[in-house]
Chain A
Amino acid sequence: MNSATQARKGLSRKAKENLIAYSFIAPNFIGFSLFTLVPLIFALVLSVLSWDGSNPIEFVGFDNFVRMFKDKTFWQALQNTLLYTAGVVPMTMAAALGLALLLNQKLRGRNFFRTVAFFPYVASLVAVAAVWSFLFSPTRGPVNQVLHMITNLPVSKLPGWATDKNWAIPTVIFFSIWKTMGYYMVIYLAGLQNVNPELYESASLDGAGAINRFRYITIPQLAPTTFFVLMILIINSFKVYDIFITIFAGADNVLSGTTRVLVYQIYNAAFRSLNYGYASAIALVLFLIVLIITIIQFKGEKKFGE
């Protein structure tokens, strides 16, 4: 027995297990911490500093937060982002799960339909937005023409969709569902492949109906996937920016009123006003909201799993 093995034996079983685990994480974690975590922590520290990217950094305490809480546009952006998230998350989840269940059946042309559902996600945002603005044009779009035929209301009484402050958020929610449900469908499809078909067979033998099979087999078996989809959907909804800019921004590239979102505020603060401290303060709020949701969800998942 040489000294090396002795040394290894010297390690407790626990320490050895830890080491093995860390060795699994290391390749990702080293790269991740160096190129994402370090700059990210630096950015969050900036929230108590004042920095324009060039001149010396100054400590300003909670000034950035005080300013943020007094800033009407911040509250507007937070409110819009929350509204958007509240609409997008459940509906996208339902649509994606429905699509996945449907396209997990043995169907003719299944691959074709799966690809088609994924399509709006990969198509250029400009193209998707152009089609959308055509379909939902208040005066000339097919959607309002159909509504006009059904309700017989004049066009001016029909929703103005993206051009109307009251309809802006619902419009962008529908747009987002349409564009991204194929993406979440793919995740659900991957998750569904892990459901043991024997469970269904034995349940069928026991006389369980389709609804019960869904409730007692599919849903619990899909729990980890659902947790993932839920978290990613929430995070992506909080970080929404591109979709709003593409649909609502004119040539000056600004958002206002009901179309303002949090990341837009961050973008403005960082790159238009060169106020990195203020941008970081908003980012920190975003981070904390998601962190709290994560902790709640994570605890829930653990309970659910036991």
Chain B
Amino acid sequence: MSKSKKAAVRIILYLLLLILALVMLTPFAWMLSASLKLSKDVFLFPIQWIPENPRWSNYSDIWSKIPLGIFIANTAKLTVIITLLQLFTSSFAAYAFAKLRFKGRDLLFMGYIATIAVPWQAYMVPQFIIMSRLHLNNTHTAIILLQAFSAFGVFMMRQFYQSIPDELCEAARIDGMSEYGIYAKIMLPLSKPALSTITIFTFVAVWNDFLGPLIYLTKTELKTIQIGLRMFISQYSAEYGLIMSGSVIALIPVLIVFLSLQKYFVEGVASSGLKG
């Protein structure tokens, strides 16, 4: 390819990316603009992207109308604990599914996947009854136990481990390393992209979870951001301006986590391990 042709391809590529970025960012622009409006103007047609009289007070009002500080602290606590547990238990279990041979492996694994298919609405009530019997209703522990052991994380980690060559494990076994050692010293360092992905997904899922906390946390001092924001939707009215300003604030930690984990998406991690 000639140099000028290469440059032309690049320009088209960037143009494409810019258009894409624009389309993808419109919801955010809408959220920002809605967060500075009165509720009645939020869904007004045609969309007024820059509000005439921006209501900056929305951003101060949400702190006084609901105990947002407590809600954020609760959500942060749950999110961090669940994410850490999820990272550990998923990556640990997935190692067995991907790299070890044992009785009932495939059956167990297929069962794991298929359970993801059952919608939560179908088993929410039996689950709640179990938690209530254990006296865990209205505790953060209930939410943690509910979400820390997911089949999704195991499935994802297993798939990632599978693309790491078996030769690496074999070599280590010949060197006398235990399976636990292989997991900790070889697999984990190689799976930073997958661990980052699980971190991002779990973080987002727990941070934005609504139904779980809604059912399990009925005491104000235990509630999370998403329930807090729904407090602005009442039986006969809804304060969408305030909801959006709260949503914008709630979005910031998610973006920070996403951006800060980007550096672990580096090419050829596995092969570099092969050489070392």
Interface residues of A (CB under 8 A from B): 17-18, 20-22, 24-32, 34-40, 42-44, 46, 53, 102, 104, 107-108, 111-124, 126-128, 130-131, 134-135, 137, 140, 178, 182-183, 186-187, 189-198, 221-225, 227-228, 231-232, 235, 238-239, 241, 263, 266-267, 270-271, 276, 279-280, 282-283, 286-287, 289-291, 294-295, 298, 305
Given contacts A39-B129, A102-B17, A131-B27, 10 further A-B contacts (CB under 8 A): A24-B100, A27-B89, A119-B24, A191-B159, A225-B159, A225-B160, A228-B155, A231-B113, A232-B155, A305-B162
Judge whether B176 is part of the interface by a CB distance below 8 angstroms.
no
Closest to B123 in A: A43
Contact of A31 among B31, B89, B103, B258 (CB under 8 A): B89
Contact of A286 among B108, B119, B127 (CB under 8 A): B119
Contact of B103 among A18, A196, A221 (CB under 8 A): A18
- In contact, A224 and B159 (Cβ under 8 angstroms): yes
- In contact, B119 and A190 (Cβ under 8 angstroms): no
- In contact, B47 and A134 (Cβ under 8 angstroms): yes
- In contact, A25 and B97 (Cβ under 8 angstroms): yes
Give the contacts of B159-191 with A (CB-CB under 8 A): 159-160, 162-164, 179, 183
- In contact, B125 and A276 (Cβ under 8 angstroms): yes
Please measure, in the bound complex, the distance between the C-alpha atom of A182 and the C-alpha atom of B25, giving whole angstroms: 12
- In contact, A39 and B119 (Cβ under 8 angstroms): no
Judge whether B146 is part of the interface by a CB distance below 8 angstroms.
yes
Q: Quote the shortest CB–CB distance from A304 to chain B (angstroms).
A: 11
Could you say which residues of chain B place their CB within 8 Å of the CB of A186? 197, 200-201
22 residue pairs bridging A and B, Cβ less than 8 Å apart: A27-B93, A27-B149, A28-B153, A31-B145, A31-B149, A36-B151, A102-B17, A117-B24, A120-B24, A122-B208, A123-B31, A182-B24, A186-B197, A189-B193, A191-B160, A191-B163, A193-B266, A196-B274, A225-B160, A270-B121, A279-B121, A287-B114
Known contacts A43-B126, A134-B45; is A28 also within 8 Å of B90 by CB? yes
- In contact, A31 and B148 (Cβ under 8 angstroms): yes
Known contacts A114-B262, A194-B270, A225-B163; is A36 also within 8 Å of B121 by CB? no
Q: Quote the shortest CB–CB distance from B226 to chain A (angstroms).
A: 9
Known contacts A115-B255, A115-B259, A290-B114; is A40 also within 8 Å of B244 by CB? no
- In contact, A39 and B270 (Cβ under 8 angstroms): no
Closest to A190 in B: B193
Q: Quote the shortest CB–CB distance from B22 to chain A (angstroms).
A: 9
Q: Quote the shortest CB–CB distance from B238 to chain A (angstroms).
A: 10
Q: Quote the shortest CB–CB distance from B11 to chain A (angstroms).
A: 12
Known contacts A225-B163, A294-B113; is A17 also within 8 Å of B119 by CB? no
Q: Quote the shortest CB–CB distance from B81 to chain A (angstroms).
A: 13
Which 8 pairs between the two chains have the least Cβ-Cβ distance?
A31-B149, A290-B117, A283-B122, A24-B96, A21-B102, A39-B126, A43-B123, A28-B89
Q: Quote the shortest CB–CB distance from A267 to chain B (angstroms).
A: 5
Q: Quote the shortest CB–CB distance from A252 to chain B (angstroms).
A: 13
Number of B residues near A (Cβ < 8 Å) is 98
Could you say which residues of chain B place their CB within 8 Å of the CB of A17? 100-102
- In contact, A117 and B146 (Cβ under 8 angstroms): no
Judge whether B154 is part of the interface by a CB distance below 8 angstroms.
yes
Q: Quote the shortest CB–CB distance from A277 to chain B (angstroms).
A: 11
Q: Which of A25, A276, A290 has its CB near the most chain B CB atoms (within 10 A)?
A: A25
Closest to A223 in B: B163
- In contact, A189 and B265 (Cβ under 8 angstroms): yes
- B interface: dominant SS: helix
Please measure, in the bound complex, the distance between the C-alpha atom of A27 and the C-alpha atom of B180, giving whole angstroms: 14
Please measure, in the bound complex, the distance between the C-alpha atom of A224 and the C-alpha atom of B271, giving whole angstroms: 17
- In contact, A130 and B30 (Cβ under 8 angstroms): yes
Closest to B149 in A: A31
Closest to B148 in A: A31
Judge whether B276 is part of the interface by a CB distance below 8 angstroms.
no
Give the contacts of B117-152 with A (CB-CB under 8 A): 117-119, 121-127, 129-131, 145-146, 148-152
Please measure, in the bound complex, the distance between the C-alpha atom of A32 and the C-alpha atom of B102, giving whole angstroms: 20
- In contact, A194 and B114 (Cβ under 8 angstroms): no
Residues 235-276 of B, flagged 1 when their CB comes within 8 A of A and 0 if not, give: 000001001100100010011001100100111111100100
- In contact, A127 and B179 (Cβ under 8 angstroms): no
Closest to A264 in B: B121
Contact of B115 among A40, A116, A289 (CB under 8 A): A40
Could you say which residues of chain A place their CB within 8 Å of the CB of B255? 115, 122
Judge whether B204 is part of the interface by a CB distance below 8 angstroms.
yes
Could you say which residues of chain B place their CB within 8 Å of the CB of A228? 155-156, 159
- In contact, A194 and B149 (Cβ under 8 angstroms): no
- In contact, B121 and A263 (Cβ under 8 angstroms): yes
Could you say which residues of chain B place their CB within 8 Å of the CB of A46? 126
- In contact, B262 and A116 (Cβ under 8 angstroms): no
Closest to A221 in B: B163
Q: Quote the shortest CB–CB distance from A125 to chain B (angstroms).
A: 9
Closest to B89 in A: A28
